[in-house]
Amino acid sequence: MAAEPVNVKEYQELARNALPKMYYDFYAGGAEDQYTLTENMEAFSRITICPRILIDVSNMDLSTNVLGYNISAPIMIAPTAMHKLAHPEGEIATAKAAAACKTIMVLSFSATCTIEEVASCCNAVRFFQLYVYKRRNITALLVQRAERSGYKAIVLTVDTPRLGRREADIKNKMISPQLPNLDGLMSTEVSSDEGSNLEAFAFKTLDSSLCWKDIDWLRSITKLPILVKGILTREDAIKAVEVGVDGIIVSNHGARQLDYVPATISSLEEVVCAVGGQVPVLFDGGVRRGADIFKALALGAQAVLIGRPVIFGLAAMGEYGVKHIIEILKGELELTMALAGCSSVKDITRNHIKTEHERFL
Ligand code: FNR
């Protein structure tokens, strides 16, 4: 038997071997030149860690709190579409892994299991990610279903007025499978031989007129806290706080939307400073090592979300793979913290890292 994978990269290779090319490319790829895709990961490597020594790290505590929910480590599951293309158990396997790891799963609007199936399969704390469709009644209905099924927050994705141009999907003629949450509401199948069916479906459905005033609309249809996912600038962070969101996720959609935006880790501090502690700031994009999580926390993130690593674990080994991916990252974070002289996440400060610019001052 082959040895167990020991890091996210090795899981990525297993996923590449396990999946048909069309699906692997869909999961792994980014937009256009994929400049931001590479940057999301490489920008982490330009940040160094400044360890402090002779600090008692014999008792480690990785736990933290997000919107009032205690989680075992600052690692959450990002919303990613269509888990059944990676594994037959789909989002149910992912949710069970989230529960086992005592973390929060954000279920994608484009899930391949229903809101209710995921809610009833385990007791993980779940948030629901939202796209706003031109047919707003469909979006509103899904929000109500999530609320009724015990989801604890709405994560409004704000970087997708249209789908980014993902060239691998265009070449592979990526399919757009029926999404069970939309059964009886609309068909997700687009019968076109040209390019990515997913892109065609998104173009047909996504409401590109969505703007800041619609946060009020969303608040009028739900009592749940609202987080906005996809903030990259100081200006938008200030605006988001002004309109009263309950949290911000610094994200560039895993580099799948606008290419040539900065790596998220390069945008994080700007957003954290603008927010000034008024609401929690979460982070995603390019996290592949515990050290990356340490750097994001040092720059002010409350927790990180992981997207592709979860898919790689799921594709390679189902629920076990997702659990193992989270455990690996948790183990790496714990070791990084111990070696850097931090016994709890609260001990991680801005002084524990140096950006490239600071190193040359
Ligand atoms: C995503 N992402 C995403 N985001 C969202 O708000 N709704 C969604 O349905 C999806 N779907 C999706 C599918 C796939 C295959 C990927 C890779 C990503 C973006 C996701 O939530 C997150 O922002 C990134 O995945 C984070 O980057 P990493 O961890 O993948 O590098």
- What is the residue-wise DSSP string for 217-270? HHHHH--S-EEEEEE-SHHHHHHHHHTT-SEEEE--GGGTSSTTPPPHHHHHHH
Kindly report, residue by residue over 39-96, the tens digit of the pLDDT: 999 999 999 999 999 999 999 999 999 999 999 999 999 999 999 999 999 999 999 9
Residue 1 has what pLDDT?
A: 58
Closest CA to 82 of 148, 26, 153: 26
* Secondary structure percentages of the chain, helix, strand, coil, to 5: 45, 15, 40
Q: Which residues are annotated as a binding site for glyoxylate?
A: 131, 166, 253, 256
What's the 49 CA to ligand 1 centre distance in angstroms?
27
Q: pLDDT grade, residue 190 (50/70/90)? A: confident
Structure-token pair, residue 48: 């160094």
Out of 83, 253, 324, 352, pick the active-site residue: 253
Alpha-carbon span 266 to 262, nearest angstrom: 6
Residue 191 has what pLDDT?
A: 67
Alpha-carbon span 234 to 128, nearest angstrom: 25
Burial 145-166 (b: 16+ CB within 10 A, else e): bbbebebbbbbbbbbbeebbbb
Q: Which residues are annotated as a binding site?
A: 79-81, 108, 129, 131, 157, 166, 229, 251, 253, 256, 284-288, 307-308
Please say if 253 is a catalytic residue. Answer: yes
What's the 288 CA to ligand 1 centre distance in angstroms?
14
Residue 3 has what pLDDT?
A: 86
Kindly report, residue by residue over 297-354, the tens digit of the pLDDT: 999 999 999 999 999 999 999 999 999 999 999 999 999 999 999 999 999 999 999 9
With a Cβ cut-off of 6 Å, ligand 1 is lined by 26-27, 40, 78-81, 108-110, 129, 157, 229, 251, 253-254, 256, 284-287, 306-308, 311
Alpha-carbon span 3 to 9, nearest angstrom: 14
CB atoms within 10 A of CB 356: 12
Sequence-distant (6+) residues with CB within 8 A of 236 are: none
Distance (Å) of CA 168 to CA 23, 68, 79, 310, 314: 10, 40, 21, 21, 21
Which atom from ligand 1 is nearest to the alpha carbon of 106? 21
Closest CA to 251 of 27, 40, 35: 40
pLDDT surpasses 70 at 100 = yes
Greatest Cα-to-Cα distance within the chain, rounded to the nearest angstrom: 64
Distance (Å) of CA 119 to CA 29, 115, 125, 228, 260: 29, 6, 9, 22, 37
Whether the CB-CB separation of 259 and 188 falls below 8 Å is answered with no
Mean pLDDT of the 154-180 span: 94
Q: pTM for the complete prediction?
A: 0.98
Structure-token pair, residue 196: 């990515």
Residue 289 DSSP one-character state: S
Mean pLDDT of the 177-199 span: 85
- What is the average pLDDT value for the chain, to the nearest integer? 96
